[in-house]
Amino acid sequence: MLSEKMQEALNDQINKELWSSYLYLSMSAYFEDRGLPGFANWMKVQAQEEVSHAMKFFNYINDRGGRVILKPIVEVPSEWTDTKAVVEETLNHEKLVSSYINNLVDQAIKEKDHATNNMLQWFVEEQVEEEASVSELLDKVEMTEGKPHVILNIDKELGQRVFVDETKEG
Ligand code: FEO
């Protein structure tokens, strides 16, 4: 049985994951508008991942006999100065999400809620991967500065990304 406090914190995290999805979908639309379909695809897959994260929390709350309460999703930005600004915001956002996950782990440990802590460890690992992949993308984008043709090569590469629901693996 989840404590009231833990249930509320997990419900808040569903909202944060869905907000993240909304943010990345907005970034995808921005890239479509800028004529960068590969970046748009990469962000669309990122948005799909966030929905799968929200669903992992959704299913977990239900499995523990808790009650899912969905809250409104706050508006997301829709304009950025350039490609680098979008990727920088993505990295900063993933770092913020990592801190949210760490706070949830702290709460689970405090409550000796081993099941929730165990479920959250999937997210601890996932956040390491998320930060690493966005950091790698930022490095690539930074290398294109002053070489606009290189961005098209990166765009082509990012167009290959396909969504795999990792919450269903392992
Ligand atoms: Fe759900 Fe990108 O963290």
Q: Residue 169: inside a domain, yes or no?
A: no
Number of domains in the chain: 1
pLDDT in tens, 94-116: 999 999 999 999 999 999 999 99
Residue with tokens 């907000």: 19
Residue range of the domain that includes 35: 4-163
Q: Residue 111: inside a domain, yes or no?
A: yes
Residues in contact with ligand 1 (CB, 6 Å cut-off): 17, 20, 50, 53, 94, 97, 130
Q: Residue 48: inside a domain, yes or no?
A: yes
Q: What is the pLDDT of residue 170?
A: 54
Q: Provide the mean pLDDT of the chain.
A: 96
Q: Residue 168: inside a domain, yes or no?
A: no
Res. 146 pLDDT band, cuts 50 70 90: confident
Q: Residue 76: inside a domain, yes or no?
A: yes
What ligand 1 atom has the least distance to the C-alpha of 53?
Answer: 1
Q: What is the CATH number of the domain that holds 129?
A: 1.20.1260.10
Q: Residue 105: inside a domain, yes or no?
A: yes
Tell me the CA–centroid distance for residue 135 and ligand 1, in Å: 14
